[in-house]
Structure 1
Amino acid sequence: MPRSKPKHLYTTLVFLLCLRSVICYRFAKLLFEYLLLVV
């Protein structure tokens, strides 16, 4: 019996991608605010 494993893997991949993009966005925002504070 074939399982629906690829779908679960795809969902996990998308979730990790979104998580990474959110972390990158927050880090970039933090860095930008820090630069504004310094300058």
Structure 2
Amino acid sequence: SDNYQNNWDGEGLPEGTYFYVLSIAEPAKRFAGTVYISGNK
């Protein structure tokens, strides 16, 4: 996105590994992966 702010910091979430799955209908694609949230800032 042209206006992406990149200001999400995971505040309030417990430290750990989070898993995501993103499905897009057209064209049919699926993305999966992990994000690690660290308690250190």
TM-score calculated relative to the size of structure 2? 0.21
Which one has the largest radius of gyration?
A: 1
Bigger helix fraction: 1
Bigger strand fraction: 2
TM-score calculated relative to the size of structure 1? 0.22
1 or 2 for the larger relative contact order (CA 8 Å, sep ≥6)? 2
